[in-house]
Amino acid sequence: MYARNLDEVLANYPTAQAVIGGQNYNKDSWTSALFSKAYDLAAWRTVLAWNNTYGYLMVTNGTSVTVPNLKVALQEVGLNPVNSIVLDGSGSTAMRVVQNDQIRWYGSPTHNRYIGSMVRVHGIDWFK
């Protein structure tokens, strides 16, 4: 749902225990001084997208992605940007993936940074 704040979400979903917030791809939505500069800034980006079957948490691997470029990239892989939200980016963007017992990092120049909020996918014992 589109909401301006947590109170709007809880008014519709009073038992919600987790909320993920972000931005859309419309430049007019990026109105604060900080956000308006970030819209056209090439940086690491994180996006949460979904279709009728799956959810996708994606990070870019490099600093050459603006918000408009991110929208195009989603379309190129067959996802509808309407069904996605742009999460934090730049140094706050990181994804840790375990493949064949090896930890791989994507989407950030640093991997030892404090993050105030995160999306964590779990259910297997990789996260120790």
Nearest to 59 by CA among 33, 89, 34, 100: 89
Structure confidence at residue 128 as a pLDDT band (50, 70, 90): very low
Better-predicted residue by pLDDT, 125 or 21? 21
Of 3, 32, 34, whose CA–CA distance to 19 is shortest?
Answer: 3
In 6-127, the DSSP E strands lie at 46-50, 55-59, 84-86, 95-99, 102-106
What's the mean pLDDT in 64-91? 88
- Structure tokens, 28: 């007019």
Average pLDDT, the chain: 80
In whole angstroms, give the CA distance from residue 91 to residue 15: 32
Three-class SS state of 50: strand
pLDDT score for 127: 45
User: Cβ-count burial of 29 within 10 angstroms (0-12 exposed, 13-18 middle, 19+ buried)?
Assistant: middle
Is residue 84 within 8 A of residue 50, CB to CB? The reply is: yes
Amino acid at 71: K
Q: Does residue 1 carry a pLDDT above 90? A: no
Cα separation, 27 vs 22, in Å, equals 13
Largest CA distance in the chain: 44
